[in-house]
């Protein structure tokens, strides 16, 4: 019973500190929350929480603020995420469904996520190798120039143009297109390359140079590690939260400029569609030791994602609302890309 009550006290401290940015005292807890116990009991509970490293006193005669450990316990106790309001859901749906292409939908998503959470939003472009192939098109541009178009189920489009030595034969191009699509549609891009190896031998010798060139370019493109593109929005939100970074906000901004750092952190948070939270020192990057990241995967099916999105902000964050927003935006984005 005492443990449950102390969790309630910790939850109240986190919620008040997030809302007010002021250290929370026992008197404020009594006035703002119906904890059902005396002020003396609350003070005793706060002493136990402090001894456990869940809260600390920033300076003498002040109230208490949560530690990274306290935030972690608070986040772990969030059993269900509150749904967004009807207005918020309609706004997400309306904004994302108005996108005209993948670049547009990614830009809209990152701006929307930043607006909903008031944090820095990060959206990774859909991974090519984790996507499934929707269609491959071969388009003759001239007598000796061919455009190869790769379209995935995540909405990603890759284009490559090649020059050939002999004039293109429309019949051969059509047959090659059909054979490639027949063995590739619906398969994960990462698994397609090996299935193309025998394609060249199925054509007459005089057409094999063309086929080999197409297969080579196609295989090289499919082997690309296309997970190094991210888009950010809301960096100005950090400036408004500069008081939440006791040392300086500079290192955080520098870390944001290093896309490799952000991608590594997103990868470490898992590839399924659950919402992950990395708090303070858990980030394993000194510049982000006073920041938290909330992220999840999007796209794909069966709980797997083709890329990730999330937000970064100070550890003094409204975790419940932020987690709800991240999950909702990811789900809408997945529906649009796979619909």
DSSP 251-303: HHHHHHH-HHHHHHHHHHT-SBSSPEEEEGGGG--GGGTTEEEEEEEESSSTT
Question: Is 276:296 a contact under the CB 8 Å cutoff?
Answer: yes
pLDDT of res. 48: 94
User: How many of the other CB atoms lie within 10 Å of CB of 250?
Assistant: 11
Per-residue pLDDT, 328: 92
Burial of 86: CB neighbours in 10 Å, binned 0-12, 13-18, 19+ = exposed
24 neighbors 17 (Cβ within 8 angstroms): yes
pLDDT reported for residue 339 = 64
Q: How many CB atoms lie within 10 A of CB 178?
A: 11
Domain covering 86-127+227-338, topology: Beta-Lactamase (3.30.450)
DSSP class of 132: B
pLDDT value of residue 198: 77
262 to 103, 155, 257, 266: CA distances (angstroms): 20, 23, 9, 6
Is 86-127+227-338's fold the same as 133-222's?
Answer: no
What pLDDT is attached to residue 54?
95
- Helix, strand or coil, per DSSP, at residue 24: strand
Burial of 82 (0-12, 13-18, 19+ CB in 10 A): exposed
- Tell me the pTM: 0.77
Give the span between the Cα atoms of 336 and 291, in whole angstroms. Answer: 31
What residue ranges do the domains of the chain occupy? 2-67, 86-127+227-338, 133-222
Nearest to 141 by CA among 164, 108, 107: 164
> Strand, helix or coil at 336?
helix
Q: Say which CATH class 2-67 falls into.
A: mainly alpha
pLDDT < 70 stretches in the chain: 1-2, 61, 128-130, 154, 189-191, 193-195, 223-228, 242, 246-247, 270-272, 300-305, 339
- pLDDT at position 273 is 73
Strands 65-66 and 276-279: unpaired
Q: HSE on the CB side for 250, CA within 13 Å?
A: 2
Q: Which fold has domain 133-222?
A: Enolase-like; domain 1 (3.30.390)
pLDDT of residue 246: 67
Return the structure tokens found at 105: 């939908």
Q: What is the 3-state secondary structure (H, E, C) of 40-57?
A: HHHHHHHHHHHHCCCEEC
Give the C-alpha separation, 191 to 215, whole Å: 14
Q: State the DSSP H helix or E strand holding residue 2, giving kind and residue range, or none if neither.
A: helix 2-20
């Amino acid at each position: 019973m005492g443990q449950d009550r102390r969790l309630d006290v910790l939850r109240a401290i986190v919620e008040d500190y997030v809302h007010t940015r002021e250290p929370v005292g026992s008197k404020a807890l009594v006035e703002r929350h119906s904890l059902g116990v005396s002020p003396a009991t609350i003070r005793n509970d706060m002493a136990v929480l402090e001894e456990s490293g869940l809260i600390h006193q920033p300076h003498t005669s002040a109230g208490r603020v949560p530690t990274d450990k306290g935030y972690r316990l608070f986040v772990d106790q969030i059993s269900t995420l509150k749904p967004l309001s009807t207005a918020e859901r309609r706004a997400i749906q309306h904004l994302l469904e108005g996108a005209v292409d993948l670049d547009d939908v990614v830009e809209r998503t990152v701006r929307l996520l930043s607006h909903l959470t008031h944090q820095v939003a990060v959206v990774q472009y859909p991974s090519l190798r984790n996507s499934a192939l929707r269609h491959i098109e071969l388009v003759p541009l001239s007598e000796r120039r061919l455009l190869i178009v790769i379209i995935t189920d995540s909405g990603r489009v890759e284009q490559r143009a090649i020059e050939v030595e002999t004039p293109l034969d429309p019949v051969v191009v059509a047959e090659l297109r059909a054979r490639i699509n027949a063995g590739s549609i619906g398969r994960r891009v990462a698994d397609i390359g090996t299935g193309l190896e025998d394609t060249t031998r199925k054509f007459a010798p005089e057409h094999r140079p063309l086929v080999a060139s197409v297969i080579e370019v196609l295989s090289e493109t499919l082997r690309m590690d296309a997970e190094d593109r991210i888009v950010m929005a809301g960096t100005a939100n950090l400036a408004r939260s500069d008081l939440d970074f006791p040392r300086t906000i500079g290192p955080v901004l520098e870390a944001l400029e290093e896309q490799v750092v952000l991608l590594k952190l997103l990868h470490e948070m898992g590839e399924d569609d659950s919402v992950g939270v990395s708090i303070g020192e858990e980030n394993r990057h000194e510049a982000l030791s006073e920041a938290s990241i909330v992220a999840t995967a999007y796209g794909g099916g069966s709980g797997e994602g083709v890329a990730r999105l999330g937000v970064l902000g100070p550890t003094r964050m409204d975790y419940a609302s932020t987690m709800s927003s991240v999950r909702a935006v990811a789900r809408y984005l997945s529906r649009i890309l796979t619909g």
